[in-house]
Amino acid sequence: QVQLVESGGGLVQPGGSLRLSCAASGSIFGINAMGWYRQAPGKQRELVATISSDSSTNYANSVKGRFTISRDNAKNTVYLQMNSLKPEETAVYYCKLMGTYAHYWGQGTQVTVSP
């Protein structure tokens, strides 16, 4: 069993910054990539950013230049630095681990961008 524990969400003003963390533990046989997705009320879950085992990254166009994804392989942890946040980015942010045999999701962390 694999567990993903997210942290770092909260309330931030427009233009502010937050850093999300996601720590993976359990029976991890191999990690192909880790990533962050988000789901706003009434909308589908969407990709925010992913980082593969060779550290190559992929970002949604809407966050390029403002968000940075990184990982600590030794700790099986992925981070998402979010800068210049916008109100429309209010959502539940989910961590995803894409393993050798299965994919896993975290429970989500709420990010609210509001004055």
pLDDT bin (cut points 50, 70, 90) of residue 36 is very high
Query: Percent of the chain at pLDDT above 70?
Result: 100
Averaged pLDDT for residues 36-42: 97
Q: pLDDT tens across 58-95, in order?
A: 999 999 999 999 999 889 899 999 999 999 999 999 99
Q: pLDDT tens across 46-58, in order?
A: 999 999 989 999 9
pLDDT of res. 29: 77
Cβ partners under 8 Å of residue 36, min gap 6? 20, 22, 48, 49, 50, 69, 78, 80, 93, 94, 95, 96
